[in-house]
């Protein structure tokens, strides 16, 4: 395999590592065997079988290469800081289809066959973005009042509940951490909570709370004592992973999700490297947009940073608002995923339900019911294994090391 640019070598190595995991075989960059790959001047890949160029494999591997270079993403027209899929159907695991087609062309079969009558195994990550988990603040009450005046009448219930809580000195309605913990004890799962940490160039749309306050430090300790994981929820213009990880005051933070899915397309390599050098091993910043697959995958994706460290990218297939607005999409997508789940390892489904939506008031009415419904739907189709992001990464990294392209 002939490459001039180290960036391209790294990207194709990642493609072949991820392909190897699904094919049940390890690939090598310098290979004197039957198959070789070359990069052309116009940045497409050519796959040769002996002396013959294999057109189908060349097309497929180029598509996968473009996805790992993020060429399948463009700026969201509503938010310039957020990417969205431009080339594929977001409700289809398109990368899995590409890898599956390559395996078929090469007549490679995964080493682990499954009985079609059995439920496939699935890693289920329950995650929560901690975005403004307090209703009883001047900002939140003013915001709900302004939205009510604009005709968004669901905010009437939010204001009513806010003032009732203030007068009776009850728990803040959006402070749902212990409610989630109680639910986790019933359902026997542990969550990953992505927590915001302030930074100098805070964006106006970033969360408005200080995670260094005592009430936050106490609840983080409570959650970790209960077996949950604290991850980093970085801001839109975020660039200092190491400094903010230390501010959270918990055990070393290993997982991350960007607020508003703000993956910096033009500086992705620098951003990923900063993340990896800070000790973060997994990222869940690729948006489902509606219910779907922004990276086109039902497995974590192995990325190598500029400094040679690896980060696992977990596409988040489901988020509360998107699922609530498109409830019929959920079962369809879960069944669509199942077609690709007979691989060498179990796929991962990543749910993102914000902490405040468990309040079940105003805009968030019935969101906890949605949460219970989608978990039940997944359990009907899969043999579910609950893992936090850190637990998942420890397991998946062992698999990827076995198939890492060298």
219: domain CATH number is 3.20.20.370
Residue 114 lies in a domain: no
| 224 and 203 within one domain | yes
Residue 115 lies in a domain: no
| 174 and 48 within one domain | no
Q: Report how many domains make up the chain.
A: 3
Phi, psi of 35 (to 5 degrees): -100, 130
Low-confidence ranges of the chain (pLDDT < 50): 1-2, 111-113
Q: In the prediction, which pLDDT does 118 show?
A: 75
Residue 112 lies in a domain: no
| 147 and 180 within one domain | no
Q: In the prediction, which pLDDT does 342 show?
A: 65
| 200 and 157 within one domain | no
| 262 and 320 within one domain | yes
Residue 52 lies in a domain: yes
What distances in angstroms separate CA 21 from CA 108, 345, 371, 373, 380, one per listed residue?
12, 8, 31, 31, 26
| 139 and 199 within one domain | no
The pLDDT tens digits for 18-66 are 999 988 888 887 655 677 888 888 888 988 877 888 999 999 999 999 9
| 364 and 315 within one domain | yes
Residue 382 lies in a domain: yes
Residue 304 lies in a domain: yes
Q: In the prediction, which pLDDT does 321 show?
A: 95
Residue 111 lies in a domain: no
Query: Which H, E and C letters describe the chain, residue by residue?
Result: CECCCHHHHHHHHHHHHHHHHHHCCCCCCCCCCCEEEEECCCCCEEEEECCEECHHHHHHHHHHHHHHCCCCEEECCCCCCCEEECCCCCCCCHHHHHHHHHHHHCCCCCCCCCCCCCCCEEEEEEEEEECCCCCCCHHHHHHHHHHHHCCCCHHHHHHHHHHHHHHHCCCCCCCCHHHHHHHHHHHCCCEEEEEECCCCCCCCCCCCCCCCCHHHHHHHHHHHHCCCEEEEEECCCCCCHHHHHHHCCCCCCCEEEEHHHCCCHHHHHHHHHHHHHCCCCEECCCCCCCCCCCCCCCCCEEEECCCCCEEEECCCCEEHHHHHHCCCHHHHHHHHHHCCCCCCCCCEEEEECCHHHHHCCHHHCCHHHHHHHHHHHHHHHCEEEECCHHHHHHHHHHHHHHHCCC
| 143 and 272 within one domain | no
| 126 and 59 within one domain | no
Residue 1 lies in a domain: no
What CA–CA distance (Å, rounded) separates 77 from 70? 17
| 222 and 352 within one domain | yes
Token digits of residue 363: 């805009």
Q: In the prediction, which pLDDT does 199 show?
A: 76
Q: In the prediction, which pLDDT does 236 show?
A: 92
What CA–CA distance (Å, rounded) separates 84 from 341? 25
What CA–CA distance (Å, rounded) separates 306 from 16? 17
| 325 and 223 within one domain | yes
- Count CB atoms within 10 A of the CB of residue 379: 14
Q: In the prediction, which pLDDT does 113 show?
A: 47
CB distance 73 to 95 below 8 Å: no
| 155 and 231 within one domain | no
Structural domain containing residue 47: 6-105
């Amino acid at each position: 395999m002939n490459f001039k640019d180290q960036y391209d070598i790294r990207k194709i190595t990642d493609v072949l590592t991820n392909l190897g995991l699904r094919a049940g075989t390890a690939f090598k960059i310098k290979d004197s065997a039957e198959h070789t790959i070359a990069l052309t001047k116009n940045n497409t890949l050519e796959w040769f079988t002996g002396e013959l160029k294999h057109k189908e494999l060349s097309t497929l591997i180029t598509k996968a290469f473009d996805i790992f270079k993020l060429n399948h993403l463009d700026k969201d027209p509503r938010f310039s800081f957020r990417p969205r899929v431009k080339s594929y159907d977001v409700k289809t695991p398109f990368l899995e289809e590409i890898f599956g087609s390559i395996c078929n062309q090469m007549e490679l079969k995964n080493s682990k066959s499954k009985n079609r009558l059995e439920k496939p195994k699935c890693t289920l990550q329950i995650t929560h973005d901690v975005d403004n988990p307090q209703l009883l603040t001047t900002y939140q009450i003013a915001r709900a009042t302004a939205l009510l005046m604009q005709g968004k009448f669901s905010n009437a219930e939010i204001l009513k509940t806010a003032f009732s809580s203030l007068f009776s000195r009850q728990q803040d309605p959006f402070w749902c951490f212990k409610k989630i913990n109680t639910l986790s004890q019933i359902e026997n799962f542990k969550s990953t909570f992505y927590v915001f940490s302030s930074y100098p160039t805070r964006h106006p749309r970033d969360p408005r709370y200080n995670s260094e306050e005592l009430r936050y430090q106490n609840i983080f300790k409570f959650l970790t004592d209960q077996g949950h994981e604290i991850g980093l929820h970085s801001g839109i213009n975020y660039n200092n992973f190491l400094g903010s990880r230390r501010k959270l005051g918990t055990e070393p933070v290993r997982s991350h999700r960007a607020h508003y899915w703000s993956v910096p397309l033009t500086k992705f390599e620098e951003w990923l490297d900063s993340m990896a050098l800070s000790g973060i091993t997994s990222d869940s910043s690729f948006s489902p947009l509606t219910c779907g697959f922004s990276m086109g995958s039902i497995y974590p994706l192995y990325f190598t940073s500029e400094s040679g460290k690896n980060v696992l990218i977990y596409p988040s297939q489901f988020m509360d608002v998107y699922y609530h607005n498109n409830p019929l999409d959920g079962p369809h997508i879960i069944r669509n995923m199942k077609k690709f789940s007979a691989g060498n390892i179990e796929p991962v489904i990543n749910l993102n339900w914000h902490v405040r939506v468990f309040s079940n008031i105003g805009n968030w009415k019935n969101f906890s019911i949605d949460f219970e419904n989608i978990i039940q739907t997944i359990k009907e189709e899969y043999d579910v294994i609950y893992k936090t992001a850190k637990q998942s990464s420890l397991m998946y990294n062992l698999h990827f090391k076995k198939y890492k392209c060298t």
